[in-house]
Amino acid sequence: MSLPLILVLCTGNSCRSHLAEGLLQRALGPGYVVASAGSQPAGYVHPLAIRAMAEVGIGLSEHTSKHLDEFLTREVETVITVCGNANQVCPVFPGLRNRHHFPFPDPAHAAGTEDEQLAVFRQVRDAIAQVFGAYAAGRLDQAKSDRP
């Protein structure tokens, strides 16, 4: 039996979805596979997303920006969209059982100095950590109660 695949989607797959992927994978642990993709991938992971996550001990430097089409032939148990555009264009994936929308502002649009922009990435990271931490806790509690 394969591990449940949770796919986090946003438009560019450069910031929010990677933040969520890293935080959710850490919160859920090895019993789940978390991946991220975008409807219009930017082709890179934003350097400030990498920095913000490194501050909390999660490495994104090996992450790549992927198109959601890469997952259309895989069994995706749960899809979570983190922006309105991805929510609107989200296709149906094989095996999909759960669908959630948790929107967050795009830190890539932050203005100001690099330090001011990094502060926005941290704010979005922390907001995602709060929401996805609660989601993970619920999933793990449900998994415990599902055991015989």
Lowest mean pLDDT among 77-91, 105-119, 129-143: 77-91
Catalytic residues: 10, 83, 90
With beta carbons less than 8 A apart as the criterion, state whether 89 and 111 touch: no
Structural domain total, the chain: 1
**What is the per-residue pLDDT across 83-102, written as a single tens digit (0 to 9) for each?**
988 888 888 888 889 999 99
Residue 126's domain comprises 5-146
63 pLDDT more than 90: yes
Residue type, 97: R
Closest CA to 7 of 93, 130, 125: 93
pTM across the whole model = 0.93
CATH value at residue 71: 3.40.50.2300
